[in-house]
Amino acid sequence: MLPTRRCPLSQRTTLADVAAAAGVSVSTASLAFSGAGPIAAATRERVLAAAAELDYSGPNPLGRQLRSGRSGIVGVVVGDALRRSFRDPVSVQMLDGLVGTLGEMNLGVLLIPGPTDPSEPPVDPLVLSAAMDVAVLLWASGSADPVLAALRRRGVPTVVVEGIPEPDVATVGIEDRQGIAQVAQHLVDLGHRRIACVALPFDRTRGEGVVDAERLAQVQWQITRRRLDGMYDAGVQPVAVYETPASLVEHGAAAGRALLSGADRPTAVLCQSDLLASGVVLAARELGLAVPGDVSVAGFDGLDLPWLAPDVLTTVAQPLAEKGAEVGRSVARLLEGTYPPPVVMPVELRVGTTTGPAPA
Amino acid sequence: MLPTRRCPLSQRTTLADVAAAAGVSVSTASLAFSGAGPIAAATRERVLAAAAELDYSGPNPLGRQLRSGRSGIVGVVVGDALRRSFRDPVSVQMLDGLVGTLGEMNLGVLLIPGPTDPSEPPVDPLVLSAAMDVAVLLWASGSADPVLAALRRRGVPTVVVEGIPEPDVATVGIEDRQGIAQVAQHLVDLGHRRIACVALPFDRTRGEGVVDAERLAQVQWQITRRRLDGMYDAGVQPVAVYETPASLVEHGAAAGRALLSGADRPTAVLCQSDLLASGVVLAARELGLAVPGDVSVAGFDGLDLPWLAPDVLTTVAQPLAEKGAEVGRSVARLLEGTYPPPVVMPVELRVGTTTGPAPA
DNA sequence: ATGAAAGCGCTAACAG
DNA sequence: CTGTTAGCGCTTTCAT
Q: Which residues does residue A159 pair with via DSSP β-bridges, in sequence order? A: A136, A170
What pLDDT, on the 0 to 100 scale, is given for residue A115?
80
pLDDT surpasses 70 at B325: yes
Q: What is the radius of gyration, based on Cα positions, of chain A?
A: 26
Nucleotide nearest to B31 (CA to C1'): C11
- Whether the CA torsion B144, A108, B153, A3 is positive or negative: it is negative
Which residues of chain A are within 8 Å of residue B307 when distances are taken between CB atoms? 306-307
Number of domains present in the structure of chain A: 3
- Whether the CA torsion A79, A82, A86, A92 is positive or negative: it is positive
pLDDT surpasses 70 at A87: yes
User: B310 and B221, same structural domain?
Assistant: yes
User: B181 and B160, same structural domain?
Assistant: no
Report if residue A1 sits inside a domain.
no
Nucleotide nearest to B34 (CA to C1'): C11
Question: CA dihedral defined by A158, A161, A163, A168, rounded to 10 degrees?
Answer: 20
Q: Count the neighbouring beta carbons within 10 Å of the beta carbon of residue A329.
A: 16
Q: Count the neighbouring beta carbons within 10 Å of the beta carbon of residue A203.
A: 16
* Nearest one of A189, A279, A185 to A231, comparing CA atoms: A185
User: B262 and B326, same structural domain?
Assistant: no
Name which of A108, A124, A249 is nearest B126 (Cβ-Cβ): A108
User: B141 and B78, same structural domain?
Assistant: yes
A39: CATH? 1.10.260.40
The C-alpha atoms of residue A92 and residue A168 are separated, in whole angstroms, by: 27
The C-alpha atoms of residue B135 and residue B226 are separated, in whole angstroms, by: 23
Band (A189; pLDDT cuts 50, 70, 90)? very high
The C-alpha atoms of residue A49 and residue A22 are separated, in whole angstroms, by: 8
Residues of chain B with pLDDT > 90: what percent? 80
Which residues of chain B are within 8 Å of residue A71 when distances are taken between CB atoms? 61-62, 131
State the nearest Cα–Cα gap between A234 and chain B, in angstroms: 32
Distance of C1' in C13 from CA in A17, Å: 25
> Could you read off the pLDDT of A42-71 as tens digits, one per residue?
999 999 999 999 999 999 999 999 999 999
Nearest CA in chain B to A104: B125
Question: CA dihedral defined by B33, B39, B45, B46, rounded to 10 degrees?
Answer: -100
SS3 B172: strand
Between β-strands B348-350 and B315-317, what pairing exists: parallel, antiparallel or unpaired?
antiparallel
Q: Which residues does residue B73 pair with via DSSP β-bridges, in sequence order? A: B108
pLDDT surpasses 80 at A117: no
The C-alpha atoms of residue B360 and residue B247 are separated, in whole angstroms, by: 32
Cβ contact (<8 Å) for A55 and B306?
no
Distance of C1' in C9 from CA in A201, Å: 41
The C-alpha atoms of residue A267 and residue A187 are separated, in whole angstroms, by: 10
Cβ contact (<8 Å) for B131 and A87?
no
Characterise B257 by phi-psi region: left (phi > 0), alpha (psi -120 to 50), beta (else): alpha
What pLDDT, on the 0 to 100 scale, is given for residue A139?
84
The domain of B325 spans: 73-174+320-345
* Nearest one of B104, B116, B107 to B77, comparing CA atoms: B116
Cβ contact (<8 Å) for A7 and B154?
no
State the nearest Cα–Cα gap between A235 and chain B, in angstroms: 35
Residue nearest to nucleotide D8 (CA to C1'): B67
For nucleic chain C, give residues with Cβ below 7 angstroms from it. Answer: A 23-28, 31, 37-40, 42-43, 66-67, 69; B 10, 14-16, 26-27, 30, 33-34, 36, 59-60, 62-64, 66-68
Report if residue B351 sits inside a domain.
no
> Could you read off the pLDDT of B25-51 as tens digits, one per residue?
999 999 999 888 788 888 899 999 999
Report if residue B289 sits inside a domain.
yes
Most confident of A7-11, A233-237, B14-18: A233-237
Report if residue B215 sits inside a domain.
yes
What pLDDT, on the 0 to 100 scale, is given for residue B309?
84
Nucleotides of chain C in contact with protein CB (under 7 A) are 1-13
User: B120 and B32, same structural domain?
Assistant: no
Name which of A109, A112, A338 is nearest B4 (Cβ-Cβ): A338
Nucleotide nearest to B11 (CA to C1'): C9
For residue B23, how many C-alpha atoms fall within 13 Å in the half-sphere facing its CB? 4
Band (B276; pLDDT cuts 50, 70, 90)? very high
Three-class SS of chain A: CCCCCECCCCCCCCHHHHHHHHCCCHHHHHHHHHCCCCCCHHHHHHHHHHHHHHCCCCCCHHHHHHHHCCCCEEEEECCCCHHHHCCCHHHHHHHHHHHHHHHHCCCEEEEECCCCCCCCCCCCHHHHHCCCCEEEEECCCCCCCHHHHHHHHHCCCEEEECCCCCCCCEEEEECHHHHHHHHHHHHHHCCCCCEEEEECCCCCCCCCEECCHHHHCCCCCHHHHHHHHHHHHCCCCCCEEEECCCCCHHHHHHHHHHHHCCCCCCCEEEECCHHHHHHHHHHHHHCCCCCCCCCEEECCECCCCHHHCCCCCEEEECCHHHHHHHHHHHHHHHHHCEECCCEEECCEEECCCCCCCCCC
Asked if residue B313 lies in contact with residue B298, where contact means CB atoms within 8 angstroms, the answer is yes
User: B314 and B210, same structural domain?
Assistant: yes
What pLDDT, on the 0 to 100 scale, is given for residue B352?
98
- Whether the CA torsion B274, B280, B281, B282 is positive or negative: it is positive
The C-alpha atoms of residue A194 and residue A343 are separated, in whole angstroms, by: 35
Asked if residue B342 lies in contact with residue A5, where contact means CB atoms within 8 angstroms, the answer is no
Distance of C1' in C14 from CA in A306, Å: 68
User: A261 and A208, same structural domain?
Assistant: yes
Cβ contact (<8 Å) for A6 and B338?
yes
Which range has the worst mean pLDDT, A116-130, B148-162, B292-306? A116-130
Report if residue A66 sits inside a domain.
no
Which residues of chain B are within 8 Å of residue A138 when distances are taken between CB atoms? none
What pLDDT, on the 0 to 100 scale, is given for residue A143?
76
Band (B193; pLDDT cuts 50, 70, 90)? very high
Report if residue A350 sits inside a domain.
no
Cβ contact (<8 Å) for B7 and A87?
no
In 3-state terms, chain B is what percent helix, strand and coil (to 5)? 40, 15, 45
Nearest CA in chain A to B125: A106
Nucleotides of chain D in contact with protein CB (under 7 A) are 1-13
Which residues of chain A are within 8 Å of residue B103 when distances are taken between CB atoms? 113, 124-126
- Whether the CA torsion B286, B291, B297, B301 is positive or negative: it is positive
For residue B298, which phi and psi values (nearest 5 degrees)?
-130, 150
Report if residue A14 sits inside a domain.
yes
Mean pLDDT of A161-168: 91
Q: Count the neighbouring beta carbons within 10 Å of the beta carbon of residue B53.
A: 12
The C-alpha atoms of residue A302 and residue A193 are separated, in whole angstroms, by: 24
Which residues of chain A are within 8 Å of residue B71 when distances are taken between CB atoms? 61-62, 131
Cβ contact (<8 Å) for A61 and B72?
no
User: B83 and B166, same structural domain?
Assistant: yes
What pLDDT, on the 0 to 100 scale, is given for residue B5?
57
State the nearest Cα–Cα gap between A103 and chain B, in angstroms: 8
Most confident of A78-82, B151-155, B316-320: B316-320
Residue nearest to nucleotide C4 (CA to C1'): A25
> Could you read off the pLDDT of B242-271 as tens digits, one per residue?
999 999 999 999 999 999 998 889 999 999
Name which of A5, A11, A129 is nearest B339 (Cβ-Cβ): A5
Mean pLDDT of B227-247: 97
What pLDDT, on the 0 to 100 scale, is given for residue B11?
53
DSSP class of residue B194 equals S
Which residues of chain A are within 8 Å of residue B9 when distances are taken between CB atoms? 69, 157, 335, 337
State the nearest Cα–Cα gap between B345 and chain A, in angstroms: 18
User: B189 and B307, same structural domain?
Assistant: yes
Q: Please give the interface size between A and B, counted as residue pairs whose CB atoms are below 8 Å apart.
A: 170
Cβ contact (<8 Å) for A82 and B73?
no
* Nearest one of B284, B213, B285, B282 to B248, comparing CA atoms: B282
- Whether the CA torsion A317, A321, A322, A323 is positive or negative: it is positive
Residues of chain B with pLDDT > 70: what percent? 97
Residue B292's Cβ-count burial label (10 Å; 0-12, 13-18, 19+) is buried
Asked if residue A326 lies in contact with residue A343, where contact means CB atoms within 8 angstroms, the answer is yes
The C-alpha atoms of residue A123 and residue A104 are separated, in whole angstroms, by: 29
Asked if residue A298 lies in contact with residue A355, where contact means CB atoms within 8 angstroms, the answer is yes
User: B200 and B294, same structural domain?
Assistant: yes
* Contacts of B178 by beta carbon, 8 Å cutoff, 6+ apart: B230, B233, B347
A333: CATH? 3.40.50.2300
What pLDDT, on the 0 to 100 scale, is given for residue B8?
54
The C-alpha atoms of residue A137 and residue B338 are separated, in whole angstroms, by: 37
**Preceding peptide of A113 cis, ω within 30°:** no
Which residues of chain A are within 8 Å of residue B65 when distances are taken between CB atoms? 62, 65-66, 131
Q: At what angle do helices B26-34 and B15-22 cross, to 10 degrees?
A: 100
Residue A229's alpha-carbon distances to A153, A181, A236, A255, B162, in angstroms, are 31, 8, 10, 20, 49
Q: Which of B48, B55, B82, B281 to mutate to test the interface with A (most CBs of A within 10 A)?
A: B82
Asked if residue B192 lies in contact with residue B296, where contact means CB atoms within 8 angstroms, the answer is yes
Q: Provide the CA A131 distance to its chain's centre, in angstroms.
A: 20
Report if residue A352 sits inside a domain.
no
pLDDT surpasses 50 at A3: no
User: A181 and A166, same structural domain?
Assistant: no
Distance of C1' in C13 from CA in B36, Å: 14
From B301, B318, B335, the end of a domain falls on B318
Band (B4; pLDDT cuts 50, 70, 90)? low
The C-alpha atoms of residue A172 and residue A192 are separated, in whole angstroms, by: 33
CA angle B305, B309, B310 (to 5 degrees): 140
Distance of C1' in D4 from CA in A233, Å: 68
User: B210 and B147, same structural domain?
Assistant: no
The C-alpha atoms of residue A146 and residue A132 are separated, in whole angstroms, by: 18
Looking at every residue in chain A, the average pLDDT score rounds to 92
The C-alpha atoms of residue A55 and residue A63 are separated, in whole angstroms, by: 18
Nearest CA in chain B to A72: B130
Which residues of chain B are within 8 Å of residue A87 when distances are taken between CB atoms? 89, 92
* Contacts of A325 by beta carbon, 8 Å cutoff, 6+ apart: A97, A98, A100, A101
